[in-house]
Amino acid sequence: MMSETALRDLNTLPSSDRKNESSSKGSFAKPFVGSANENVDVSLVSTHVNGNQTGNAGPGIANSEVEYIDSENLIDVEDIDTSLKTLIAGLDSKDWVVVCEALNNVRRLSIFHKEAMLDILGDVIPLVVKSLKNPRSAVCKTAIMTAADIFSAYNDRMIDLLDPLLVQLLLKSSQDKRFVCEAAEKALVAMTTWVSPILLLPKLQPYLKNRNPRIRAKASMCFSRSVPRLGVEGIKEYGIDKLIQVASSQLSDQLPESREAARTLLLELQSVYEKSHDSAPATVSDSPEMDSWENFCQSKLSPLSAQAVLRVTNIAREGLVIGS
C-alpha cells in the first residue's frame, strides 16, 4: 500500500528549483553555480565553499560548484568505520554541501563496501529520499545517482525499501529540468536492470493507472523493460493473460511513451505466446485456429481492446514479412 504522502507526491509535479539559496547558518551564502553541462566537482564543494573566496564578493562569500561523478570514477572511502559512523548525521545535515558529501559516501560504500552498509540501509534510504525531494538541484541529482548505485549494489535486498525511492524517481523523471530528468531515467533503468522483475512488476503496476500521464508513461516504460527479463518460462508463469491486459490498457494512453512501451510489450508477449505453442506437443483436440494469437487476444480482452492489440501485432508481423 502506498502511503498518503506518497500518493500526494505522485499527483504533484515538483516545483522549479531555486537558483540561489542562502545558508541557514553562518555568515556567508552558498549559491549553486552549475556549468552548462552541469558537470562540476561535488567532491570539491567544501573546498570551494570554505576555502576560496571570490574576488568581489567580500569576506566570507564563496562560489560553490558541483561535479556529478560517474560511478566508475568514484574512489573508495579513506576510513570505512568513520564514514559509517558519520553517514546518517551527514545525510540529515542542514548544510547542503555536507549532504552531497554524505550522498557520495553512500555511493562509495555501496560500490566498495556494500555488506558493511547493509545493516544501516533502512536508515540510509529514507534520508536519500529526503534529498530526492530537496529543491536544490545539486542535492537532488546527487541523490538520484545515489539511488542508481544502491540498486546496483543491493538488488533484491532493498525491495522492501523500494516504494519511496520509486515514487520520487518517477516524479523526477517526469519533470521539466532536463539534467535531473535524464539522471532519474538512468536510475530507473538501473532499477529495472538490477531488481528482479518478479518483485518489481507488482511495485510498478499501480503507477500505470496514476492520474498524472507523465508518471504513467515512465512507469509503462519501466514495466515494458522488466517483462522480458522474466524469460519465456517466467512470463508464462506470471501470466500472459495478465500482462496482455496491462499492455492493452496502455495502448490508448495520452502520451506516446506509454503507447510505444505498450506496443513493445505486446510484441514480446506475442513472440513468447507463439514460441510456447509452437514447441508444445500437439494433441488430437488441438487446432491451429484455437491456439492462434488472434484467438487468445479475443478470449482475454474486450472486442475493442483485442482489435487494437491485433492491429499493433499484425502491422509488426506484416512489416517483418515485407522486410524479409
d(CA 248, CA 239): 14
Residue-wise pLDDT for 284-315, tens only, equals: 445 545 589 999 999 999 999 999 999 999 88
Q: Which CATH architecture has domain 1-53+62-195?
A: Alpha Horseshoe (1.25)
The per-residue pLDDT of the chain, averaged, comes to 81
Around 181, how many Cα atoms within 13 Å sit in the side-chain half-sphere? 11
> What mean pLDDT is predicted for residues 101-120?
96
Task: Give the angle subtended at the CA of 161 by the CAs of 159 and 163, to the nearest 5°.
Answer: 90
**DSSP codes of every residue in 300-315:** HS-HHHHHHHHHHHHH
Helix 137-154, helix 121-132: angle, nearest 10: 150
Q: State residue 16's pLDDT score.
A: 42
The answer for 22, left when phi > 0, alpha when psi is -120 to 50, beta otherwise, is beta
Tell the residue number behind the cell numbers 492520474, with chain if given: 211
**DSSP codes of every residue in 80-134:** HHHHHHHHHHHHT-S-HHHHHHHHHHHHHHHHH-HHHHGGGHHHHHHHHHHHHT-
Contact 67, 40 (CB under 8 A): yes
Could you count the other beta carbons within 10 Å of the beta carbon of residue 82? 11
d(CA 166, CA 144): 11
Contact 271, 286 (CB under 8 A): no
Beta bridge partners of 62: 53
Task: Provide the whole-model pTM.
Answer: 0.78
Tell the residue number behind the cell numbers 563496501, with chain if given: 113
d(CA 213, CA 254): 7
Q: What does the block give as the cell for 17?
A: 528549483
Q: Is the pLDDT of residue 276 over 60?
A: yes
Give the N- to C-terminal CA distance of the chain in Å, as an integer. 48
| pLDDT range class, residue 207, cuts 50, 70, 90 | very high
**Close Cβ partners of 96 (under 8 Å, ≥ 6 residues apart):** 21, 30, 134, 136, 138, 139
SS3 content of the chain, % helix, strand, coil (to 5): 70, 0, 30
Bigger pLDDT: 284 vs 166: 166
> What mean pLDDT is predicted for residues 37-51?
39
Contact 40, 66 (CB under 8 A): yes
Q: For the chain, what are the domain ranges?
A: 1-53+62-195, 197-279+288-324
